[in-house]
Amino acid sequence: MKFGKEFVSQMVPEWQEAYMNYNSLKSILKDMSKFKEQNESNAPMASTPKGSMRRRLTHYRAFSGLNGKQRDSSSSKSEDEIILILSEEGEDSKELYKTMFLKPYEDGDLVFFTKLDFEFNKVNTFYKKIVKEVVDEAEELSKQMDFLIAFGIKIDSNVENSSSNMHHADGHSHSHMDVIPEIPEIEMSNESHFIEEDGNNVAQTNSKTSSIEGFRPAAPSEILLNHFKINVTTPETPVSTIKGLLKRSKSDPAFNKKELRKADGQLRTALKEFYQKLRLLKRYSFLNLLAFSKIMKKYDKVSSRNASKDYLKVVDSSYVGSSDEVNRLVEWVEDTFIEHFANGNHRKGMNTLQPTAKRERHRITFLLGLFTGCSIALIVALIILIHARDIMYSEGSTTYMENIFPLYSLFGYIVFHMIMYSANVYFWRRFKINYSFIFGFKEGTELGYREVFLLSSGLAVLSLAAVLSNLDMEMDQRTKSFSAFKELVPLGLVTVVLIITFCPFNIIYKSSRFFLIKCAFHATCSPLYKVNFPDNFLADQLTSQLEAYRSFIFYVCYYFWGDFKTRSNNCIDSDIYKTFYLIVAIIPFWLRFLQCLRRLLIEERDIMHGLNGLKYISTIVAVAMSTGNDFHKGIVWKVLAASSVGIATIVNTYWDIVIDWGLLRRNSRNPWLRDKISVPYKSVYFVAMVLNVILRLAWMQSVVGIKEASFLHRTALTAIVACLEILRRGIWNFFRLENEHLNNVGKYRAFKSVPLPFNYQDDDDEEEITYT
C-alpha cells in the first residue's frame, strides 16, 4: 500500500482535519513535475553523479523526521542552505514557522512551501494544544489518585483501626485494599499532591516517586479529605432518578466502602481512556513526522534540490518533533495502573491497557459463505416447490397466508434489519465513520459487517428450513387437522432464538448480545435510566419494527387462543387482541418520547428535545388513527387517519433530513447539504433524501391507500410495506451516524467523557470536575 493511503487509514477519524494534508502537497509536486517535464525539451538537464547519488540515498533518511539524524556530510555543499525557516510569534502567542528562500526559486516552490508551512504550523499548534490538555488531565488524575488513597486509609481506619496489615484483594473486585498496599511502602507517581501540615494548601512534589512512610492515617481524614468531596453525578439508574425527582438524595455521598468501590472503578476507567488518548497522540506525532519526511524527499526528487535536510531539522526541533511529555505520561499511567489496579502484575496491567487487537478469522468467512449459499439454495427450493405444486392457487393458500405467513414474517423482518445493519457497518468503515466509539463498544468486541451478516444468514437458514418443513396446504382428510409437530415449528424457532439471545455462556458473541440486551432494557425502562446514544439509537430502530411486534402478539393469540392444529384463529375478532395490536405499535414511539422528556427535564434541558418529543406524539396519534381505520371502516376514520399520518409524515421527514442528517443547509460549502460530508459523491445525499420521502409516503399509502392487491394477499402487502420501512431505517442509520461522527470531528472529540469520583474544592469552589 502506498504511503498516502496508509497515512489516511491510520488517522484518528475525529482528528482528520488536524493531520498534515499529504495528498494536497503531493498534488502540488505533481503539478511541478508536469511543468518541469514540459520545459525539459527547451532546457534538458544532464544526469550528474550528484543526482545519481541523491537518488541512491532516497531511503537513507526515511525516518529522519522521527529521529533527527543528519544526512551524510558528503552531501553536496553547494546546495546547502537553500532555504531558511524562521520562527515568529503569531496570534495567541502561537509559534509559527515561515520558510524564506536563499536562492532563486520558481512559482511552484513558493506554492509548495507556503502550503507546507501552513500544514506544519497546523500540526504543531494542534499537538501543543492537545498535549497541554493531557498534561492538565494528568495533574487532575494524580490528585484523584491521592484522594482515592486517602479515602481508603480513612475507610480502613474506621473499620479496623489499623492499616499495617492490609493486602491487595482480588483484581476483579476492588475495595480500598486494591489501591493501598502496606502503607509504609506506598509509592506515589510523579507530580503527586500532598497536604501541608497546616491543612491549607496542596503542595506538588516533582520527584519520580514519593514514599508516605510515617504518614499518619489520621492526616488524610483530617486534612486531605477536607479539600475534596465525592461528586454527585446525574441520576443514571431508576433508584437514583426517583430519589432525584423526590429530592431525597443526599447532597454529599457518605464515605463508605460502596463509594470507595465506585470511585475505584471510575478511576480505573478514566486511566484506561487517558492511556488510549496518549497512544493516539504518539501515533499522531509519528505519522505526521513521517509524512513531512516523505513529502520533503519527494520535493527534493522533483525539484532536484536538497532542501529536506534544513526543513526536517526544524521539524525535528519543533514541539511536535522534540516534546517528550507524552512518553513520560505514558510511563506514568502504566506504572500507576499496574501498581494500583493490577496488584503490581505488569502483564495483567498491560493486557488491560493494551487489549489484543481483534484478528480476522477464516472460519467466519467460511461459515458466511456456507450459510449464504444454503440460504440461496433454500430460497430456490422454496420457489420451485411453490411453482411445481401450484401452491399459490390451492385451496389452503388463503389459510396459510392468514395463519402461517405472519408467524414466519417475524424472522423476515429481523433478518432484513440485520442485513441492513451489516451494510451500515460496511459503509461506516469504508468512509471512516467511527461507529465503535460513538456506540461505546468495548475495544475489540464490536462486530464487523461480516459477523453481523453471518448471524443474519444463519437465522435465514433456520427460518427458510422451517418454512419448507410445514409448507403443507391441505389437511389430513382422516383427522381434519395438520401435523401438530410441524405446526409447532415456528414456535420452536422463536424459542431457539430467545435461548441464543439470552444464553449466559461465552458463545455467539456474548458481549455484543448482552450489550444489545442492556440497551434494550434501558430503552424499555425509559425514563428511569440516563439516555446514552446507543439506547437512543436502538429505540429509533424499534420504531421501524411495528409489524414484528404485531407478529409476536399474533404468536400468543395463535398458539394459546387459536387452534393451531387446524390453522384457524379468531384473533381479528377479539377486542383484547385489537387492544394489544394497538398498544405494541405505540410503545416504541412512547419510549422515545419518554427519552426526549428525560433529556429535556433532567439531563441537557435543551428545547430541541421537547420538539423531538412532540414529533413522536404526532406519530403516536397517526399510528392510533391508522389502526382504528383498520378495525373501523368509515369515512370519518379514513379522514382522521389520512390527516394524522400526513402531518406525522411531513414532520418526521423534515426532522430526518434537517435535524438527524444535518442536511438542507442553503449556505454551506456544499449547497443544500452540509459543510462536511464523508461520501465524496454529493448525488448520494440527494438520492437518499428523495428515497426517504418516497419510503415515508409508502407508509402513508398503507394507511389510506390500497389494502389488498389482486395479485398479493393482504398479509404479503403488509410485509412488503414493513420491509420498505426497514429499508428506510437502514438508509437513515448511515447518515444519522455520519452526522454524529462529523459533530465529534468538529469538536475533535475522540474520547468519551468519564466522570471523576472526586472534586477538589477551595472554600468557594463547588464546580464538578469531569475528565474528557
Residue range 236-249, pLDDT digits in tens: 667 666 666 565 44
Question: Looking at residues 427-448, what average pLDDT do you find?
Answer: 88
pLDDT in tens, 142-154: 888 888 888 777 7
pLDDT in tens, 160-177: 554 444 444 444 444 433
Sequence length of the chain is: 772
pLDDT band at residue 351 under the 50/70/90 scheme: confident
How far apart (Å, rounded) are the C-alpha atoms in residues 356 and 443? 9
The reply to whether 213 falls in a domain is no
At residue 360, does pLDDT exceed 80? no
At residue 56, does pLDDT exceed 50? no
- Global pTM reads 0.78
The reply to whether 236 falls in a domain is no
- For residue 18, which of 90, 95, 125 has the smallest C-alpha distance? 125
pLDDT value of position 746: 65
- For residue 530, which of 239, 231, 229, 251 has the smallest C-alpha distance? 239
Structural domain span for residue 555:
362-755
Decide if 644 contacts 634 (C-beta within 8 A): no
pLDDT value of position 295: 92
Name the average pLDDT for the chain: 79
Least confident range from 208-212, 421-425, 438-442, 443-447: namely: 208-212
The reply to whether 740 falls in a domain is yes
pLDDT in tens, 101-126: 877 777 788 889 999 999 999 999 99
To the nearest whole percent, how much of the chain has pLDDT over 90? 39
The reply to whether 685 falls in a domain is yes
At residue 518, does pLDDT exceed 90? yes
Residue in the structure block whose three cell numbers are 487532575: 140
pLDDT band at residue 535 under the 50/70/90 scheme: very high
pLDDT value of position 407: 93
pLDDT band at residue 34 under the 50/70/90 scheme: confident
Name the phi and psi angles at 695, rounded to 5.
Answer: -70, -30
The reply to whether 689 falls in a domain is yes
pLDDT band at residue 647 under the 50/70/90 scheme: very high
The reply to whether 479 falls in a domain is yes
Locate 431 and state its grid cell.
468512509
**Domains: count for the chain:** 1
Question: Looking at residues 303-316, what average pLDDT do you find?
Answer: 88
The reply to whether 281 falls in a domain is no
Question: Looking at residues 247-260, what average pLDDT do you find?
Answer: 63
Task: For strands 770-771 and 754-755, give the pairing.
Answer: antiparallel
- For residue 274, which of 435, 441, 141 has the smallest C-alpha distance? 141
- DSSP alpha helix (H) spans, 389-448: 397-403, 405-430, 435-439
pLDDT value of position 184: 32
Q: Diameter of the chain by CA atoms?
A: 107
The reply to whether 645 falls in a domain is yes
pLDDT value of position 285: 94
DSSP readout, 106-140?
-HHHHHHHHHHHHHHHHHHHHHHHHHHHHHHHHHH
Task: For strands 758-760 and 228-230, give the pairing.
Answer: antiparallel
